[in-house]
Structure 1
């Protein structure tokens, strides 16, 4: 399974279609994939799982989210003022 994910990650140029977000506005898609990445990174080691599964989220949210948002959210996480529990 990890091999399939690594192969798919290498082939991604942009985020794949997600039927949960069918509209042009991809703000929620960006937010959900950003949260998914960080929650996965936190949860997998706690459960004894492989963190490489979380790498799927990285290129997806990087292609959807403006870099300024990602930097602001990262700063909020460091300060402890992030609006979601990760």
Structure 2
């Protein structure tokens, strides 16, 4: 299974269609994948498991989110003012 995940991540080109976000406005998709990445990391690190599967979420949000948003959210997480629940 780990090989399958690694292969998918290596062959990744752009965010695939997500039925939860059918509209052309991908703001919620961006936000959800950003949160999912850090939630995944937190959960897997707590279990002591490899966090490689979480890279999928990071690749998705970095391909659809504006860099300024990601930088702002990263700064907010560092400052402890991030509005999302991770």
Aligned to 1:36: 36
Name stretches of at least 5 consecutive residues in structure 2 with no aligned partner: none
User: By how many angstroms is 1:23 displaced?
Assistant: 0.4
Which secondary structure state, in structure 1, belongs to the residue aligned with residue 36 of structure 2? helix
Q: Where does structure 1 differ by over 4 angstroms across 4 or more consecutive aligned residues? A: none
User: Is the Cα–Cα contact under 8 Å of residues 15 and 63 in structure 2 kept in the other structure?
Assistant: yes
User: Is the Cα–Cα contact under 8 Å of residues 35 and 85 in structure 2 kept in the other structure?
Assistant: no
Name stretches of at least 5 consecutive residues in structure 1 with no aligned partner: none
Q: How far apart in 2 are the matches of 1:2 and 1:61?
A: 21
Aligned to 2:51: 51
Q: TM-score, normalised by structure 2?
A: 0.94
- Across the aligned residues of Structure 1 and Structure 2, the Cα RMSD in angstroms comes to 0.9
Q: TM-score, normalised by structure 1?
A: 0.94
